[in-house]
Chain A
Amino acid sequence: MNHNLNHWQLSLIVFSFIMGSSLLMAPNLTSFFSGQDAWISMILAVIIGFLINILWLFLLKRYQFQSIFALNELTAGKIMGTAVNITIVFYALHLAAYVIRNLSNFMIANVIPESNPWTYQIMIILLAVYTTYYGFNNIARVSEFLNPWMFLLFIGSLLLTINKFEFSNLKPVFDQKFVYIAQGAYSTTGFPFIEIILLGSVFVYVKQKEKLTKSYMAGLLWGGAVLIITVIAVVGVQGDYMVKRQSYPTYELMRNISVVSILERIEVLITVVWIFGILVKVVVCLFAAVSGLKHISGHTSMRVFLLPCAILIWSMANHIHENMMEFTDFVGQNWTMWWFTLYAVIVIFLIAGIMRGKDKQAGT
């Protein structure tokens, strides 16, 4: 199993992770609270996400970018550290389950209504297990190859909607109270900007550590920029009244594309981009989970854990929520807090570790 990746591949992974599943969700999540000021919420979320990740990377840099599982044991002690590691594994599996549920929800609701959600769940889990089986290097290469195409597809389909863009949909600016704008930013901060701390299990495999921070942040900002543009485009074309009522407004936006008579109904293209982002996200989660389990068990290989993790993700994806409404409510209310708690716990341990001089022991 080869896990190594270079800084360019890391950038692209971060980019896919950020853009991935949020591409279709972000406009609704922000606009639901902040209306036509959704783009301000999005910018706010990117800024908060940027600050959160800067702190995170700064702390990890002090520890020479060791794996977060090893660092937890180092900073929190053997027992507490293992407890935190188990929590991270649970978080990762839980997130993967949500992402997959999101995919099958989307498929059933919008694309092929008469089909069974299990088909899509099982297919994407199989793909994730397949690539994780070969190590993290595999998904890094896959994203290196596919990302330019995905970016092209995204930009291309966005450009095709430009002829329907109306600035009046975005006006008046700052119409909403700041609380609502903040509330819009709140839900998109956790999803995806805090979730991405799961990539902490990968940093140890990045070859050029000195370029890591820069490329990670570049990927994050590019992903954030794409989300901001998406929100602006979606709200600008459809108006916030429509966006608030759609679960997947970006997809609906692409449905409206009509440039010349041949370029119609090409929303499928944006779905490709989205599914790829979902794949990357699930793989990162799965990888974090199995490498955490590998660390906890002290085993030499992580392949043994793939099968139980895959089954657990699948059953959790189906079982965690009864229906879509519950799902959306839960994500909107609790998701950021839920992830921020994990982030805060690890960060506090890391800071405490630095104070006690533990960072000098890391990597030796």
Chain B
Amino acid sequence: MNNKAQSIKYRVTLTALWGFTIIYTISFLAGKQLFPFDKWIGALFKPVYAMMFGG
């Protein structure tokens, strides 16, 4: 059984998830926008939207 590989993968995933959650929550509570997802997504799709509906 690949038990060991499984548990390493599990630990990495869980640590990454918790890590991201904690960083994000701290950034939220501190009022700092470290991950402005909306800006990134907006920047990505702005040209497409402008092309479709003309801004």
Interface residues of A (CB under 8 A from B): 94, 179, 182-183, 186, 293, 296-299, 304-305, 308-309, 311-312, 315-316, 318-321, 326, 330, 333-334, 337-338
Contacts and interface: CB of A to CB of B under 8 A. Distances in A.
B6 A298 contact: yes
Contact of B37 (A293, A299, A320, A326): A320
B54 to A, nearest CB: 8
A311 B25 contact: yes
Contacts of B29: 315
B24 A308 contact: no
Across the A-B interface, give the 6 residue pairs with the lowest CB-CB distance, nearest first.
Answer: A297-B13, A319-B28, A315-B25, A315-B28, A337-B45, A297-B10
21 contacts: A94-B37, A179-B53, A186-B52, A297-B9, A297-B10, A297-B14, A299-B14, A305-B14, A308-B17, A308-B21, A311-B25, A312-B20, A312-B21, A312-B24, A315-B29, A319-B24, A319-B33, A320-B38, A334-B38, A334-B41, A338-B41
Q: Categorize the interface residue count of chain B.
A: 20 to 34
Contact of A308 (B18, B44, B48, B53): B18
Interface string B23-35: 0110111000100
Contacts of A186: 52-53
A270 to B, nearest CB: 29
Interface of B: prevailing SS = helix
Contact of A319 (B12, B27, B44): B27
Interface of B: 5-6, 9-10, 12-14, 17-18, 20-21, 24-25, 27-29, 33, 37-38, 41-42, 44-46, 48-49, 52-54
B38 to A, nearest CB: 5
A318 B17 CA distance: 18
Given A183-B53, A186-B53, A305-B17, A298 B9 contact: yes
